Chains A and B, each alone.
Chain A
């Protein structure tokens, strides 16, 4: 016998009420990050040992700045979701779990905010 209502079945969201949202956002950000990180690996190799003026001029390039900003945004979403999974897997006490999930959100946003501000400041103010 199935105790689930027709509405619950058609929504397909399961007991956590969020369906495959977590899984899907991890994968979409992962796919997006592949070309972005490859770009950055090449960028960092080509700027190895480069002086301040050269590095800042490259980071201020509009194309590079947009790539930087996109990498930051995709990264903080991906890292927050990934750490969320680790916390939920290993931390079983409810209070500590909630505290760490909050800390995870704060840390990811804080890092993202810092990096975005720095990237934009370099592009707009030098």
Chain B
């Protein structure tokens, strides 16, 4: 079964097409999904710490509250919001809306910018609250 495509034409792939915002969003959607997958370790650690007692909780909170911890959590927040907005776009497409080329590209740009804006707003709110 090796080399089954030998001599046969291959379907065009990423490097053939002109780069479009929707392509970038598709790639980022998958990457953020993967990041959120492994990020569940952070959520599990936090919940287990909260269930373990004050000492463990304060220890984990201390790590998450450090500069590096906050950078990671900022990235986690962005990945979550980006994946969420990307998901909403996919739902719209699944329902048959938003396929027009220029609109799809505009929406891709808009959701990328919104994901960053919303992440910053969430963190401004976090710094105001605490």
Residues of A near any B CB (own CB < 8 A): 27, 30-31, 33-34, 37, 41, 44-46, 48-50, 52-53, 55-56, 59, 68, 75-76, 79, 82-83, 86, 111, 114-115, 117-119, 121-122
- In the assembled complex, the Cα of A79 lies from the Cα of B65 at a distance in Å of 26
- In the assembled complex, the Cα of A82 lies from the Cα of B40 at a distance in Å of 14
Residues facing A in B21-37 (CB within 8 A) are 30, 33-34, 36-37
What A residues does B65 contact at CB under 8 A?
49
Contact with A along B5-48 (1 / 0, CB 8 A): 00000000000000000000000001001101100110110011
A48 touches B126 (CB 8 A): yes
A45 touches B126 (CB 8 A): yes
B84 touches A45 (CB 8 A): no
- In the assembled complex, the Cα of A107 lies from the Cα of B90 at a distance in Å of 26
Which residue of B57, B94, B122 is within 8 Å of A55 (Cβ)?
B57
Given the interface pairs A31-B91, A45-B126, A48-B130, the reply to whether A111 lies near B40 with Cβ below 8 Å is yes
What A residues does B129 contact at CB under 8 A?
45-46, 48-49
Of the candidates B34, B40, B91, B130, the one having the most CB atoms from chain A within 10 angstroms of its own CB is: B40
B88 touches A79 (CB 8 A): no
Residue of B with least CB distance to A75: B40
A52 touches B57 (CB 8 A): yes
B88 touches A118 (CB 8 A): no
What B residues does A118 contact at CB under 8 A?
44, 47-48, 50-51
Which residue of B43, B77, B87, B88 is within 8 Å of A115 (Cβ)?
B43
What A residues does B54 contact at CB under 8 A?
52-53
Residue of B with least CB distance to A89: B30
A45 touches B57 (CB 8 A): no
- In the assembled complex, the Cα of A34 lies from the Cα of B36 at a distance in Å of 15
- In the assembled complex, the Cα of A31 lies from the Cα of B88 at a distance in Å of 8
Which residue of B37, B80, B130 is within 8 Å of A83 (Cβ)?
B37
Residue of A with least CB distance to B51: A118
- In the assembled complex, the Cα of A31 lies from the Cα of B92 at a distance in Å of 11
B68 at the A interface (CB under 8 A): no
Given the interface pairs A83-B34, A118-B48, A119-B47, the reply to whether A30 lies near B130 with Cβ below 8 Å is no
